[in-house]
Amino acid sequence: MIDRRLNQTTLMRLTALGLVLAVLVGGCDKDLRLSRSKGKVLTDDERMEWWREARFGLFVHWGLYAVPAGTYQGKRIDGIGEWIMNSARIPVEEYETFAGRFNPIGFDADEWVRLAKNAGMKYIVITSKHHDGFCLWDSKVTDYDVMDATPFKRDLLAELAKACKKHGIKLCFYYSIMDWHHPDAQAPFFPNYNDTSRSNPNFDRYVETYMKPQLAELLAKYGPLGVLWFDGEWIKDWTEPQGKALYAWLRELQPDLIINNRVGKGRQGMEGLTKSDGAYAGDFGTPEQQVPATGLPGVDWETCMTMNDTWGFKSYDENWKSAAELIRTLVETASKGGNFLLNVGPTPEGLIPQASVERLEAMGRWMAVNGESIYGTTASPIGKPDWGYCTAKGRKLYLHVTEWPADGTLSVKLPNAGAAKAHLLADPKKKPLPVACTDDQVTVTLPGTAPDPVVSVVVLTVNTK
Ligand code: FHN
C-alpha cells in the first residue's frame, strides 16, 4: 500500500529534493538547458514552425482511471472517465488502490507511435499526470507513479519517448496543475476535489517542491519536448502571474518549448481563446470539443476532441464519431487555421480501443492521399464555401469537396485568379481539370464521381499570389 498521505518525514525529504531541483533549474544552469535548436535563439515563428506544419496530433488520456473504466461500486458513473475520482467521490486512499491493478502488459509504445504516424499525425500529447495526480513516469518526488506504485514497474514515458524518437514523432506532455492527490493541492477538498471556491494554504509548497521539480524532470529525462500542455488551471490557487512565471521558467529550461495557454488563465472556458495582445501566457489557444466558428484569427490554436464521449477509457462508452466525421473535422479545423488533437483513451491493459484504431486507420488512408492539403496549410482565404472547405499554401488552394456537385462544376469565389490550373489531389498523373475564370470566380469542371466518398480534394493553383 502506498504511503500517500505524505507523513512529515516524507514531506521533508521531498521538500529538500524539490528545493535542490528548483535551485538547479531556477538558476538556469546552462547544462540543464535543453533545446531542439542546438543553441540558436529562435524567433516565435521559428519556434512554432514544426507545430504549424504538423496540423494533426494524437492526444492520449491514460492513467489509473482506466482501471475502474467508468464503473465504481457496481454503478456506472456519469461523466468523463478520467474524472471518476471526483464524480464518484472516491477518497484518496481508496483511489490509490487502483494502482495495484494497473498492469498494462499489452502496452507497446512502438505500436502506439506507429498507429499515430500511420494516421498522419506528427505529434503525441500524453497525460504525464492528470487531475488524479498519478504519474506515468518514474518521478523522483513521489512514489505515486507507475514505477513505484504499480505491479507494471516500467517507465511508460521513457518507452514512449524512445519510440517517438525512432519514428520521428514529436513527444509532448500534458500536465495537470490541479492535483487531487497531493495534500498541498486539492486532496483535502474531498469530497469535491474540484471545489473552485477553496484554497490550500500550502499550495505554493506544492508548486515549488513538487510541480516544478516534476516539470524539470520531464524536460530533463524525456526532452527536448515538443509541447508542454497544461490543464487544470482554473483552480482558485492558480493565478495568471503564476502562469506567466511558470511559462518563463520553462522557456529558460528549454527555449524552443511550445506551451499551451492553459499554463495561465487565458482560455475563456471551452472556447479556448488566447488573447493575442500578450495579456495572457501561452503560445496557443485550446478550444475543447469544438471547432471555433471562424477559427481564432491572429493566434495559433488547436482543437482537442474525443472520438466518443470520454477522454479516459470507459468500458461502455460506444458513442463513437464516425471516421468520416473525424476526417471532416480535421479538414474544417485546418480550413480555419488550427491544429487537430484527437484523443484516445487506452485500456488498463495498455491497448488502444479497437474502435479508435479503426478510425485512426481510416484517417491515415485519407491522409496518405490528401495530407498535402493539411500539412503546413493556412486558413481558407475564401471563407466557407457551400461545397466544403478550403485550405491554402503558397499559390495553391486546396478545395475540400464534401458535397460533390451534381452538375459537375465547382464554383470558387476568387477574384483575379489569373490563369488558374486544377487537378485532383488523388490523381497521381495530375491530369488537368477544365478551368474557367472570370473576374471574380473560378469554375472547375469535375469528373462525374468523387474520388473519395468523404472529402475529395481539388488542387487549384492560381497565378496571382
Ligand atoms: O478536465 C479536463 C478533462 O479531463 C480533459 O483532460 C480535457 C482535455 O482538454 N481538459 C479538461 C477540461 O478542460
The type of residue at 415 is P
Summarised one tens digit per residue, pLDDT across range 200-227 is 999 999 999 999 999 999 999 998 999 9
Answer positive or negative: Cα dihedral of 387, 305, 235, 284. Answer: negative
Distance CA 288, CA 9 (A): 41
- Out of 57-66, 74-83, 154-163, 262-271, pick the least confident: 262-271
Summarised one tens digit per residue, pLDDT across range 273-326 is 766 667 889 999 999 999 999 998 889 999 999 999 999 999 999 999 999 999
Contact indicator for 365, 324 with CB cutoff of 8 Å: no
Q: Which pTM does this prediction carry?
A: 0.92
Distance CA 134, CA 174 (A): 12
Ligand 1 centre distance from Cα of residue 23 (Å): 31
Summarised one tens digit per residue, pLDDT across range 110-123 is 999 999 999 999 99
Ligand 1 surroundings by CB, under 6 angstroms: 61, 80, 82-83, 231, 288, 304, 311
Query: What is the model's pLDDT at position 464?
Result: 65
To test the ligand 1 pocket, which listed residue (80, 87, 127, 231) has its Cβ within 8 A of the most ligand atoms? Answer: 231
To test the ligand 1 pocket, which listed residue (127, 265, 311) has its Cβ within 8 A of the most ligand atoms? Answer: 311
Q: Which three cell numbers stand for residue 351?
A: 491497448
First CA to last CA across the chain, in angstroms?
66
Query: What is the model's pLDDT at position 4?
Result: 34
Q: Which atom of ligand 1 is nearest to the CA of 127?
A: 6
